[in-house]
Amino acid sequence: MLARSFGLFGDYIVELDIVDYNGEAQIITKENNPDLFYGFLGGSPSNLRVLTHFKVEVQDDQKHKGSKGLWIAFLYNQITLKALLDILVGKGQDPKFERNYDFGVNTVSRGINLTDYFPGPVAELKDKLPRDIFDGDKNSIDLLHFKFALIVVYAQWVNFGNDVYSPILFNRIKSTSVPLITKESADGDPMSKIASMWLFKSDREYPYPYVKRTDTTKSTTFDIDGWSVWFSVRINQLVFVVGNGLWVSS
């Protein structure tokens, strides 16, 4: 979620503590051993040496005052998913789209622990849910095994100094469909707190066999190629049918 504004986590690694094949401990940096240093960052570390510790450059909240964050969940619907992906594609292909903004669209199947996804206490989550889904009385849905599939969107705007915030992107995301739950950062929230809104609270381990896949591309023709339609159809094949034994977090 922070990559577009801040780059990759590896960009902030300062030094690595390693043990080589002779059992000798070393501290490597991009200055004293650039090949090995960047090999660790971009490759498979265990194939090179044993990594024991690493040092990270800490970011300063004071440099990003006035930043904004949005967490919003929609009940799953293929039309809503496509509309959100259209925004993602449009912004991704816009060379004038400021690096201050970043957002991700996530689809999750039925049965999630919603308290792990929501960036706040359980009491706040219960208060934000519509009364016809959770009212603490007749409608008391199981939040630990939420029965609805969701689309969860994380969005942020980072102030790099004296930048001017525009709510256009956030408003467009909100108007895609009727949201189930919306949470925005409060005025004055530091960037570190905003970044914590995207953190998953539990261990991300799955009890069944699964496929994890990450794709990258240099394409600038997703809109012409109809990628939003193709991807939303593929996701719908997994999510729409109840009880098909498949689970997706995309």
Grade residue 230 by pLDDT with cuts at 50, 70 and 90.
very high
Per residue in 71-85, pLDDT (tens digit) is 999 999 999 999 999
Model pLDDT, residue 45: 59
- Give pLDDT, residue 46: 66
Measure Cα distances from 7 to 55, 63, 99, 122, 156 in Å.
17, 16, 10, 32, 14
In one-letter notation, the amino acid at residue 156 is Q
Place of tokens 């009491």: 123
Contact 157, 101 (CB under 8 A): yes
Strand partners, 182: 72
Mean pLDDT of the chain: 89
Tokens of residue 59, six digits: 């970011």
Q: Provide the pLDDT confidence category of residue 244 given band limits of 50, 70 and 90.
A: confident
Greater model confidence, 136 or 183: 183
Question: 13-19 and 50-56: which strand pairing?
Answer: antiparallel
Give the contacts of 75 (CB within 8 A, at least 6 positions apart). Answer: 148, 149, 150, 151, 180
CA 15 to chain centre: 26
With a CB cutoff of 8 Å and minimum separation 6, the contacts of 225 are 219
pLDDT tens digits, residue range 151-201?
Answer: 999 999 999 988 999 999 999 999 999 999 999 999 999 999 999 898 877
Q: Residue 69 in contact with residue 194, Cβ under 8 Å? A: yes
